Structure 1
Amino acid sequence: MTDWDKHIVVDETVLAGKPFVRGTRIAVGLLMNRLADGWTIDDILAAYPQFTRKDILAAIGFSAESLLASRT
């Protein structure tokens, strides 16, 4: 997802600058940990009803883009 910036916020005054899903105080890292633990997108949506599928895909896209950027 290339338009992750519509869903993901990085603000130094919130969560010590960790990226989070817009409109929440839930860090992208927490979502990535849930996925790494074997949760599905549907599991996350059930546990966090404030999220949309696009929010989660944006978090994945943000993470992927951040990792790729750190390798250059």
Structure 2
Amino acid sequence: MATRININPDICNGRPIIANTRIPVQTIMEFLGAGDSIEEVLEEYPTLKREDIYACIQFAAKLMANHYEVRKIA
């Protein structure tokens, strides 16, 4: 996965992207979250491989594994 997802402050404002593209991980996750299948995402982005989509899912899952402190505001 590490080689399929890149973070570079000079590309897409440092947002995580699929390597060798300017396609943000967030974009792929939004398609999947909206109910699109992996096959539909691949049709929309024919340069991507199935492994790229899996890498996005793994990346998002690792982000969610972080512990977040919940604070009441106001």
Aligned CA RMSD, in angstroms, stands at: 1.0
Quote the residue 2:9 is aligned against.
12
**Which residue number in structure 1 is paired with residue 71 of structure 2?**
none
Question: Residue 63 of structure 1 aligns with which residue?
Answer: 60
Q: Point out the structure with max Rg over C-alpha.
A: 2
Identify unmatched segments of 5+ residues in structure 2. 69-74
Aligned residues: 68
CA drift of 1:6 comes to: 1.5
The C-alpha deviation readout for 1:9-54, integer Å capped at 9, x for no partner, is 0111111110000010010000000001110000001110110000
Higher relative contact order (CA 8 A, sep 6+): 1
Q: Displaced runs of 4+ in structure 1, greater than 2 A?
A: none
TM-score by length of 1: 0.90
Comparing both structures, which one devotes a greater share of its residues to helix?
1
